[in-house]
Structure formats: structure tokens, C-alpha cells
Structure 1
Amino acid sequence: MFIESKFTVIVGAGPTGLTLARVLQRHGVPFRIVERDTKLFDGSRAKGLQPRTLEILDDLGLVDRFLATGGAYPELLVHLPGGGTMTRRMAEPQEPTAAVPYPNGLMQPQWRTSELLADGVPVELGAGVTGLSQDGERVHVTLDTGETITARYVVGADGGRSTVRKTLGVPFEGETFETEQMIIADVRVEGLDRGNWHVWPGEDGKSLRLGLCPLPGTDDFQLTASPSDKSLEELVEEVGLKLTYVGWRSLYRANMRMVSRYRAGNVFLAGDAAHVHSPAGGQGLNTGIQDAYNLGWKLALGTPALLESYESERLPVAAEVLGITTRLHRQATMRRDDPTLRQLTLNYRDSPLSRDHRPTPGRVQAGDRAPGPIFDLLRGPEFTLLAFAWSGDLPDGAHRVDDPEVLDIYDVHEPTLFLVRPDNYIGCVSHSPDDIRRYRSLLGV
């Protein structure tokens, strides 16, 4: 049977799978994306998009639609047990800069994130995976429709209960804390101010009794509450309000787990199928989108060195993020001002794909995210060669960069070449075009 050399099956049409589909689309790679449910997820659940995610959406040509429909995180209005109120912020808003054009998180209900990512993506709904096997370089995927698909690659982006992960026999290491639960629901409340995220602490002043967060572009609030024998209507009535509508709802259990490997043959894991986090810090969905953004161009180019680098780059990141979110969960804090949470400082400096040949690297090194303000040059599916302060003839395909502000941001003081990967991380830095040529040859690109 002839199989297109890069044909990929994506299992799961959440934000991770949809982001991967979009990356493959722009590389012209054939794929099918299948989803067990008969509709895209319709709840708010993960509602925060971090600055690095917004940069990815910018590169994919979607950020304007997200900014137009999302909103800033509102100030918390804490209704104190003894009466009275106080205000707090989860993080202080920051002004955009040339290097960081999207410095603040964006609130966007998960259903709309999926809806925007899915626009133009041919999702096959109502098609769940029941079996998976590998035969040399081919992967056979059996669907509950009775169809068997043969592909070169399969990516399991099918959530924390991933069928793909279970079929591979990859352990999901960590803990589930059954005693640590939370009710989450999308509701409408009569007469409640939408300018604040309303929080009612428990009698101890620390635990959460009830939270109502206005979801931008909707009439809904995301309700969070400690589990109770009382109905949602009763919980809301206790704080003097009236519930008029209940949509999606779920019981969250504290679950902190991740895999020890991201790949088995030609099958890869991404997003919640590879790691699940506490919602503290708003990292889970964002980390999944970054998984997909890292993997997509590597599947498109398909060289062994690139495919092998997916696990070595993304597994340490997921472990670090899981550690941060677990710590925040244990502290039961609403603050999210740790700079790491913006995901702009996460890097691949230790990756085999990162080569910095300068005797003394500057602040921005191989393996780092490429900062602005040159996103227009970087947008698209190709490697981008930047020639900073370059004199004489440019190397083939290079873009000359002489703007003093950009030179300062990149900490460049002499002629230097930066080769930027399709996911806008810096692959190779050198003063010599020969190093760039050798790097490309090494990767087969």
C-alpha cells in the first residue's frame, strides 16, 4: 500500500490537535484529524492564553481574531466573610514593548479558542480511535466507524484519558488527588457586575467558597466552587444572587501527571495526552499548543534529527511547567505574576538543535525564543536567516537587520547571523555563513 511520506493522523480536536492541524496545513502536509465527540468542546474550562501563545497565534495569522473576541483578565473583587470587599489582581498588567508585543494574558473561553482554531480545518467528528498498531514505518489506526487508516505518523492529542497513550502502554506518572475537587460550570447570573471577577472565600479567608468570572464576549460567567451537597442555584443564592442558566459543567479533580516519553516509533503524544496540570497558573492548554507548534514543522520536514528532538525539547519544558503549577496549586494562590508563566523565557538552549558558535554569546542565544519586533520577517513555515549589522554581500536568502533598536534587543555588537526555526526559536547563531550551511546540512534542511 502506498502511503504519502508525511501523511499524519491527528487524534483529538482540542486546541493542541487543532494547532497541529493548522501547522501541517501551512506546510502543505496531508493529514486527517479525528475526534471521538460529535461536537467540539463547548465549555469554558481552560480560559487563559499566555503571551507566548499569542505570539504563536500571530505567526498563524489568527491573533487579531483572538484579541477582538477575548479580553483582559478582570480585577478580582473579593467579598470578605465578615462583610466588605477588597480588590486584587492576579498579575499586574504590563505595557507592550518592541521585544514583547503581547505582554499580558488574554482571557478566552476554551470553546471559542477551539472554534477559532477549527475554522477551515476539516475535523472528522464522531470518529474515535479503538486500536493502533505499527508496522515498520506505517501506523494503522482503527476507528469506531469500522475504518482503518494507514499513516506515516500519528499524534495522540486526545486528552488526559488518551486512548493513544494507553494503547502505546506509556505510563502516565504522577498523582490524582480525589479529595481535592472543584465544581466548574458556565452559568448566567442576574444582576451581577461584569467588570470584576467575583470571589467569595470560605470562612477561613483562604479557601474558595464561590467564584464567578465574566467570560468576554458572552453573557456567561465561569463558576468555580468547592464541592457541596447543595445545588448550584443554592450556592449562588447564598451570596444573594440568582442563577438563571447553567450550561457546561464538570467536577475537576486535582490531577498532576506526565509521561516519561513523548514518542513510540512513529506515534507522538502532545498536550494533555502527555501532561496534565493544576489550573493554577493557566499553563495546561498553552503548553499543549506549544507542543503542537514544536512538533508540526518537524513532522513536515520529517528528518530523523528533527523528529528525535521533539521529546528532548518538550519533555523538560512540561516537567518544569508541571512543577510550577503544582507549587501554585499547593499554595492555593490566585497570583500569577511569576514571569515563567508567560512562557516567554522557556528555551531550548540544551537542545541538540541549538548551536551558538560565538565565543561569547549575548543575552539572546541559540535555543531562545526570537523576540520582536521582527515578527513580520519570521511569519511563515520556513527557516529565516537574519543578518545583523552585516557588511558586504548577504548570504543567500538572508534578511539584513540594521535597526539599532533590534540590534540592542538581540544584544548584537558585530556582524552576526541568526537562523530562526519555523517555530520562531533560534536554531543557530554564528559570525560565519559556513556554520549556518553546516547546520542546515546536519538537520537535512
Structure 2
Amino acid sequence: MTKDEGSTLSQTGLRDSPPAATGDTARVTAPGGSSELPGTPRRRTVVRTYLARLAGPVPARYWLLLAGLFLVLYTYWRYVGKPWTGDALYYTAMTFRYSGHGLEDAIRLTGEYFHDPNIQRLHRGFDNPVYAPLIYPRVVYPALSVPFVLLMGGSGMWVVPLLSALFVVWGLMRLLTRLFTAHVALAVTAFFMTTIPFLEFGTGLFTESPTLALVVGLMLLLPLGGRRFGAKEAVVAAILVVAITFCRQVTPVVVVPICAAWLWTALGQRQVRRNPWNLPLAVIGPVGIAVTMFVRWWAPYDIIEWFVHINGEPDVRTAFRHFPRIAWHLIVADTRDTFVSDRGMLLLWCVGLIACLVRPLSVHTGLLLGALGPSIFIATLNSQPTSMRYYLPMTPFLILAAAGLLHLLLTRPHGAARHAGYPGEAISLAAPVR
């Protein structure tokens, strides 16, 4: 077809009209002799546009590197490590119950899948009034796994953690690239993927996996790097806070950092009315308090009684008088265990905490310290060394601070780090705090 012919057809409207169908399916013959279904180029354009939006400013080769690394690490840990413990038995049984099975049948199916001859011990987590309120509010992971379990049986429990881990990698790359550079995002994200918290709890049959994904999703909405937090973001953020609460009872770990970020920004800018964290605080704070109170009413698990009992204290007042000593003992024990089992994660902790010392006025420091306080409190109330497992929900805030320090060291000239902030921070870091 010549250029004039194409112009004529376009003016008459015939060029965009579908050809008449002949036989079962109408096809369009391309210049090269191949035939395509009508609309195929349009579908390809839609797919390419969608993939481009997902990739964002991150180069394709970086996504390929992360995909290859994820495939190797996930396969290795799935078959060499043990990405599940006794907790997975409860969540699997809960999923079978949500799928329509009775309690006895759900426990039996769980035992058959995990080849556990002593599976009847799960009754302790469903029937015991002391421990059941700790377990049954965690409905998000089992509920999301129902369609996969209906299709795949017990193996369907692996789907939600896998999708959550992929989202965590994608979300960290997009967030850190927006705030810093794609190089820093790739280095920090790839390093985190090699740590045991990501391999075991981020991809395994634990509630930490979807919790990490939800926290990363919340961080993508926050006013970091010049992002606007409007009404749409407020609604989605409220939903995510509720989901985090019903995934794992760690609501303070995401609510307190928002309060800290507001405070850090207010002190740095000396303004309250134009603080970009006003709306996040006004939405996430009340929602977090309300959903926490609801869970306390629905599932009255007495963590204070557990704290007093496991530490052998005579009463609550005496137990909390010894709270600092117990907290320090647990921090030392968790740090020692992490040093032995996962020095990579310990290095990430060191870099993140050093970032707080180097940039004390950074909003990233406010977020990290705001998440660290509730994490220490929750871990201390649990009063059992867990190799920092109770700190996992705050890990995205730690990664943010560590990435910020790495970017600062790579881009700032010597001596300038003391007076320059990270890109896009909603805080005037050069302003003194009185």
C-alpha cells in the first residue's frame, strides 16, 4: 500500500475497520506474509506498557540479574534449607478449615501433607484458650492461600510466600531507585536477598512473608522522595495497616514510625501545617489504634501475663521494673545468634544503625528508630531469643536507612555528608534542632 492509499483509507475510515471474517477466524495478512488475529498489535502494546510501568526507571538488565539471583537462592533454600517450622502447621490447618473442612479433617490433612505422625498436638493452638487468641487473628495468609490450596492441596501454601517475596524485591527496587539510584537499589536489595531472614521467613511458610510485602507496599505510598500522599494513598494505606494487623500483630511497628517521621520533619522544617506527614499520621494513627483495639477485644491474648510468667516474676510491677535488664539480655542473645548464623544480616544492621548516627536529622532515621522501639518492646514481651525474628517486620525501614548511607558515601564529596541530605527527603537536614 502506498502512502497516498493509506491516507485515503484513513480518511474514509476503512483503514481502522476490521476485515470481513472468512471461515472460522478472520486474520490480517502482514507485509511479511504472516497472519495475526485482529487486535494483536494492540494487545502487545498494552502488555509492553504494563511491563514498562512495572519496571519503572530500573534498567531491564537489573531485573534480569535479580530474577536469576532469586531463582538460584529460592531453589537452594527450598531444597537445602528448611523454610517452615511448627508455625506452618497451624497456618496450613487454618487454610484447610477456611476451605470448608472441619477442624479434625483439617488437622489430619495437614499431618498428611507434612508427614507428621504427631499432628494431633495442633489442638493446643486451636482449643487452648491461652494460645488460641495468638493464632486465630492471623487470617490474611491462610485466607489468601485458600484458592491455591483448593487447586494444589497443601502445596498451595507456598504460593502466597513466593508472590510476597517477589513483591518485596520489586517494591524495594522501585522505592530505593526513586529515592537514590538504581545502582544502590540493586546492591542493597540483592544483598538482602542473600540473608536468612529473607530466605527463611521471606519465602517460607510464615506470616512474616506477607507481612514484609504489606510493609513494603505501605512504604511505597509514604511521602518519601517527593511522592504525594493524597486521598487515594490514604485509603490504600488504611487497608494495608488493617491487613498487617490481621497478618501478624505488629501494628505499632508501622504506626510509630509514621509518628516519628512526622516529628522529625516538623523539627527540621519548623512547620506543622505544611508537614507532608500530616495526612499519613491522621489516617494511619487512628486506624492502627482502632484495629489494634478490635483485635484485643476479639482475641484477648494476654502478652503481659506471658511476660510475667516466662520471666518467673511475682507480679507485673516487678516484671516491668526488670524490663530494661530483660530487654538488654535478649538483644545481646539475638545479636550473638545472628553473628553466628547470619553475619550478612548483622552487617545490614550495623550499616543501618550507623546511618542513624551519621544522619540523625534524616527522616529515614526517624522511620528506623520509630520501628526499632516497638520491635524491641514486642521482642522483650515475648522474652525468648529468636535470632531477631521479631524484628523482621521493621526490616524495610532498616534497609531504607542502610541504602541512604550507602548512597551518601558514594555520591557526596569528603566532608559534605554532614550538611547534605538524601535526595527527596521531606526535611531540611541542615537546620539545627533545638
More strand per residue: 1
Bigger Rg, which one: 2
TM-score, structure 2 normalization? 0.22
More helix per residue: 2
